[in-house]
Structure 1
Amino acid sequence: MVHEITDADFEKETEKGLVVIDFWAPWCGPCKMQSPVIEELSEEDKDIKFCKLNVDDNQATASKFGIMSIPTLLVKKDGKVVDQIVGYHPKEQLQKLLAEYAA
């Protein structure tokens, strides 16, 4: 399950454990390609929390993290940013990357 988050609840929703935040917008073509990959990963790996943040509606958080291109995936572990991935990435590539942080 992918959680929709906002500027208001970003910190609370991403402060514990391993969290992947998908910064996206409805008009973004590559975001539309990335979204089903994120959905699949969220169903397969229950130890990782997956969130989506619409950058059009939540500009403060996007600005705080310097999100200049979308899709951007921000990976947080116990509240600290450990990685930032820009652009579309296939499922296998994301699985490999996330396995390193889950260990």
Structure 2
Amino acid sequence: MATIDLTEATFPETVGAEGTVLVDFWASWCGPCRAFAPTFSAVSENHPDITFAKVDTEAEQGLAGAAGIQSIPTLMVFRDGILVFSQPGALPAATLEDLVSQVQALDMDDIRRQIAESEADAEVDAGS
């Protein structure tokens, strides 16, 4: 599947959908971003069932700020609307493939349970 471009308007719906979404935050002036782009694109071709998206941080400065992007490239991975990975830096193809496999293998029911427990603990802490 070809990569898609995300904007502030399309980001929430795209990353909030069921399934896996990889988002590459990049800029045209960024050498490491340009070096990572072919790897990101090639891996996307191996996974037509996964959404591979890009955010141009120059065109979408508000979105990059809201996402807390401090260096580029930054890769974020969402699964079923939950952020499960976020890391700055370009990844080699083998590492990106491994990351995709790890994300696909996640037990999302367990992840949701952990989030619910963490939120419940935070509510208890706030109430005391």
* Bin of the TM-score, shorter chain as denominator length: over 0.9
With the length of structure 1 as denominator, give the TM-score of the two structures: 0.95
Q: Distance in 2 between matches of 1:11 and 1:28?
A: 25
Structure 1's unaligned 5+ residue stretches are none
Superposed, which structure 2 residues align to 1:1-103 within 5 Å? Answer: 1-16=2-17, 17-103=19-105
Distance 1:85 1:44 in 2: 22
Specify the code of the residue in structure 2 equivalent to 1:84: S
Larger radius of gyration: 2
Q: TM-score, normalised by structure 2?
A: 0.77
Which structure has the highest helix share of the two?
2
Matched to 1:28, the amino acid is C
Size of the alignment, in residue pairs? 103
Moved over 6 A (4+): none
CA deviation string 1:22-48 (max 9, x = no partner): 000000000001100110011111121
- Unaligned residue ranges in structure 2 (runs of 5+): 106-128
| Greater relative CO (CA pairs within 8 A, separation 6+) | 1
